Structure 1
Amino acid sequence: MSLTIVAHGPDNPNRDRGPGVQLIRGTFTDKQTHFTVWSSAVEAPDSFQVAVTNNPADLVLIVSGVNTGMLHATWGEDWRAFVPDWKAWFQDTAFKVFYTGRADDRPTPGKVRLCDG
């Protein structure tokens, strides 16, 4: 079963950007380099890619098979040799940004729901 992907959910900080950046899902950093997450399509993309923000030609990671669940990650040439822990963190963060537009787990201000019983 494939998951429905909302290109610009209500909590995605990039949803109000103008034309030409609709494929940008968000950005994140590893405290040394800034990265941008791009989707393959505005609606129901089957892949996404992560590139260095100031150099979009420097592809770090491409993840395909998002809709089918048959995920395949391809690392850019200069990034393949990075340590496995960093690569695992990077993939997790890229997925968070792809799905939510945010790299952290903090709730969006004003979006917190409380249950009182």
Structure 2
Amino acid sequence: MGKARLSVADLAALERGRFSDGRRSYTVRASGPVSPDSFQVYMTDNAADIVLIVSGLTSGCLHATWGEEWRSAPERAREWLRAWAFHVFHNGDQSVPARPAPRRERHCDG
């Protein structure tokens, strides 16, 4: 029994959004429509050009697998792409991901 092939419409339904670094455009696609365990980032003009796969979303044991070109990229570039990928996966838009606010600790003496 062969693997089921997804139609173009099915693949489009899994797309969470896109973002760009000003030169290249990236697309984020979930592994499934409900509670996906992974997502992938690929070059928008070539879905076979995988940039990043993040797995373990449902288990909380996250694992990033980088595409060939990105394995040797500077950590700063990979962190930028990873942050955008998560932002688009969760929010589905191209807004700039907010930087985390400085943590303010509160203590109760009561």
User: Which TM-score tier does this pair reach, normalised by the shorter chain?
Assistant: 0.7 to 0.9
Aligned position for 2:46: 55
TM-score, length basis structure 1? 0.72
Q: Which has the higher helix share?
A: 2
Aligned position for 2:86: 95
- Does residue 83 in structure 1 map to residue 74 in structure 2? yes
Aligned residues of 1:47 and 1:63 also touching (Cα < 8 A): yes
Deviations 1:69-98 (CA, angstroms, capped at 9, x unpaired): 100000001111111101001101000000
The residue type equivalent to 2:55 in the other structure is S
Question: How many residue pairs were aligned?
Answer: 89
Greater than 3 Å deviation, 4+ residue runs: none
Q: What percent of counterpart residues are identical?
A: 45
* Contiguous gaps of at least 5 residues in structure 1: 1-18, 107-117
TM-score, length basis structure 2? 0.76
Greater C-alpha radius of gyration: 2
Q: Which structure's relative contact order is higher, taking Cα pairs within 8 Å and 6+ residues apart? A: 1
* Contiguous gaps of at least 5 residues in structure 2: 1-8, 98-110
RMSD of aligned residue pairs (Cα, Å): 1.6
Aligned position for 2:95: 104
